[in-house]
Amino acid sequence: MPPPEPPPLSREAFQDATSVSRETLERLDTYRALLEKWQPKINLVASGTLRDVWRRHFLDSAQLLPLLPESAQSLVDLGSGAGFPGLVLAILGVPKVWLIESDQRKIAFLRTVAQATATKVEILSGRIEQVPRFTVDVVTARALAPLAQLIEYGLPFLGTNGVCLFLKGRQAECELAETQRPMMVQRFESRSDPSGVVLRLHELSPT
């Protein structure tokens, strides 16, 4: 039986949990307002998650920040969708962030949020496998594909000593077992979902 769902996380509780500045919190609140405005027109996120948006989307994304390598300067978010986690991490201060998305409506949303929150990001339109390759320190993804496929998508972008941070649910261990690629795996309990896990992958072999 799954654990009972916690009460929605408030804006103030999110700030307490992440120690973001007041200015950053205001930018995220602008993001939240735009998400709620656009959601009826575009299926950006599961509608049921909006009642707990600060936990299900903003804390879910922000929890990756302390897992980034200290020297990390660049990040690519695969299949960014509504911008979780990549756009949130850009707002939180990751210096160089690319968002890859193929849905033109979602790209319009990402551009609107980036402009409204004064966030500098590069938004790349197209399928992941068709985007010109470049190297970054961190690859992220959420709710995009099975782990083996995520690794295939992410490896061409991964620089030396780079890491992958993937938000996963109940099937994480099964997906790890099905992935034959040599790598180092760290597991972190999700701060936003009792059944979730953050996988931090490094020392990935290209074969």
Q: How many residues does the chain have?
A: 207
In 3-state terms, what secondary structure has residue 38?
helix
Q: Please tell me the predicted confidence (pLDDT) of residue 181.
A: 84
Separation between Cα atoms, residue 168 and residue 148, nearest integer Å: 12
Tens-digit pLDDT profile for residues 83-99: 999 999 999 999 999 99
Mean pLDDT, 10 residues at a time, the chain of 207 residues: 77 97 98 97 94 97 97 97 98 98 98 98 96 96 93 94 94 90 94 94 80
Give the percent of the chain with pLDDT over 70: 97
**Using the 8-state DSSP alphabet, how is residue 172 labeled?**
H
**CATH number of residue 47's parent domain:** 3.40.50.150
The CA distance from 111 to 188, in Å, is: 31
* Torsion sign across C-alpha atoms 75, 77, 82, 88: negative
Q: How far is CA 98 from the centre of its chain?
A: 11
- Count how many domains the chain has: 1
* pLDDT at residue number 207: 55
Q: Which residue, among 32, 31, 33, 56, has the nearest Cα to 119 in the 3D structure?
A: 31
Beta bridge partners of 84: none
In a domain, 87, yes or no: yes
Q: What tokens does 48 get?
A: 């049921």
Residue 5 in domain: no
**In-domain check, residue 1:** no
